[in-house]
Structure 1
């Protein structure tokens, strides 16, 4: 849309004998984005020619055969992994998925294990501030990664604590730390993605 508008504006500005006032808004095609979104919603394919991006199945018709079927369709997770490859690693059930992904509801055939659904116990949170949770972790005994040497990091009784995929530091009593965090989460005080290794 921007490229087409630039071409139209340049074409109008090159005319030296124009008698009207220049209006850049008239050069913008207002239906350009609308028609692209309508095409995406009707066909399900998302095409951006400039970036050579082509994705299929961006929109789907919701299955309404039963309530459980429609609920499962709305909570479906489809990874960007090739279904034709016969690799067992991505299809395996990971321990970190416990309580978040349903271990039973997966299709048969080549998509088995790749397409999963959120579990009924999953609660999706958005726009949560990470700062208070990180300071809570430090107050519960997590030692800062920046203050540790390599020898201290790899001692026998040190366990890494990760927050949203970022290593915060290590903890010497991981079971106590995990129990306190679980109690706080179950009491509704925290909503976070925290792993202790």
Structure 2
């Protein structure tokens, strides 16, 4: 990196190498955290360099890691808002059926869902629709004449999506989301 004129370094799940240091007994990771804390200011002094870190657990980070001079911006990225959820559903619903699906209802029902939760529900609905078409609705597997191609073209319905949403376990609990909102107030700097 020292030889590069321009560099963007991205460290995902930075809490793994910059977690809270404790006194006794010193953990092997404390040495890694200490070294990282020394490297960051030197890295920042070089023009054309950008260090970006991501974490799902900002509370786990060492307070020295978050101080001004190391990271001037702490940008919280939370769960998707209504507009973002609508854009995700527009992306995940097949074009052939998007006009027949009540996207507003899906957006409403996915409050508190992460992008991964929404994608999972969309894929589950598509799988459900295919299975229903092939095995239940006159598909070849049930002795009918509907081909797999026709089943795919038919696509998932609003109800397929609602059923999938109802069966999707969200990855962010209400408690974790509340902690995130508290962390925004305490630590966010844009």
The structure where helix makes up a greater share of residues is 2
Structure with higher Rg: it is: 1
The structure where strand makes up a greater share of residues is 1
Under a length normalisation based on structure 2, what TM-score does the superposition of the two structures give?
0.26
Under a length normalisation based on structure 1, what TM-score does the superposition of the two structures give?
0.25
